[in-house]
Amino acid sequence: MSLVISILDIAETQAREAAARAINSITVEVGALAGVEIEALQFCFTAARRNTLAANAELRIAEIPGQGQCPACGRISPAETLVAVCRRCDDGVLEIKQGRELRVRSLNVD
């Protein structure tokens, strides 16, 4: 719930700065390695948006896959966990390059 409240705070601040009357949708990027349960995020959003500029808004989620780079061979590979080993050389633990994101990407307002 605290994540959703933060998302709504960011969205409302930006909407008010743009003199918007309502938020129609909020697009959020959520990385596969961010530790966020998508269904819980959507459920909490529905409950928390009441009495806000986003009261009727849709939450759109752009999922970002995990990806890392091997320090040994340099290959960029998918990462399904925060500690993943290179699939090519099996020599190095991947340095995570993407998949930990959690950010508001865009708003659609009136």
pLDDT value at residue 92: 78
| CATH number of the 2-65+99-109 domain | 3.30.2320.50
Does residue 29 contact residue 97 with C-beta atoms inside 8 Å?
Answer: no
In the chain, the amino acid numbered 48 is A
pLDDT at 89: 87
Domain-by-domain residue ranges, the chain? 2-65+99-109
Asked if 33 and 99 touch (Cβ cutoff 8 Å), the reply is yes
Parts of the chain with a pLDDT under 70: none
At 67 the pLDDT is 96
Report helix angle 38-48 to 2-17, nearest 10: 60
Take residue 49 and report the two structure tokens written for it.
């948006």
Q: Are 71 and 95 in contact (CB under 8 A)?
A: yes
Structure tokens given for 99: 């998949």
What pLDDT does 57 receive? 98
State residue 91's pLDDT score.
Answer: 78
Q: What is the per-residue pLDDT for 5?
A: 97
